[in-house]
Amino acid sequence: MALGSRLVFFLCILLTCYTAEKYQQTTVPAKGPSPIARVFYSAFLNYLAFVVAGISFILIYQNVQIPGTEEVILRVLAGILALIFSGITLFAPKNKKLLTSSLKKMMISVVFLLSLAIFPANAAGTFYEFLLQVVVYGGMYFIFSIAYSGALDRMAMADIPAFIKGLPLAITTLFLFYLSFSFFNGVFFGYLF
């Protein structure tokens, strides 16, 4: 994954978790779903939309003659497919209970950004290589989002110095997650980082 794609990947995780964190539970017993449940549900729907858009993208790319400048058309195709499939996920079951309007907006933008960052960069390989990349990157997004949401929940209770609160802590935490899970790249793709 190129540096730009990693930054987009981290941005999508931050968007997912911080959008859900706005809906903290304030009563005991809780009256609504927890932020972690919201992240799990929205990240899972994002994962499904990302994978289905990726399969559609590679099938269209390999079987249809693409007119015009290929670099531009690939990004347009990735964006259109991401918008279509992320829009379809907004009609998923339990949508009214777990998704708010800001989470729905986040879902569309996250799938769009991930698709633009990942699909055109990996389109040159075979169908199965592309599918493996999409499933692994989507799975990493899903797992990292849930793990980071849990970490945010724990950090809310911790006494953290003011100079590291916010974005510096978020980037550091995500980078440590990435390092701890980077062995998956070595297992699946033969290289680290």
pLDDT digits (tens, 9 = 90+) for 100-158: 888 888 889 999 999 999 888 888 888 998 998 899 889 989 988 898 888 887 787 78
CA atoms within 13 A on the CB side of 186: 8
Residue 65 confidence (pLDDT)? 80
Q: SS3 for 166? A: coil
Instruction: State residue 104 phi and psi, 5-degree precision.
Output: -65, -45
Residue 66 makes CB contacts below 8 A (sequence gap 6+) with 73, 74, 77
Residue 86 confidence (pLDDT)? 92
Q: Of 84, 12, 78, whose CA–CA distance to 43 is shortest?
A: 12
Element (H, E) at 30: none
pTM of the predicted protein model = 0.84
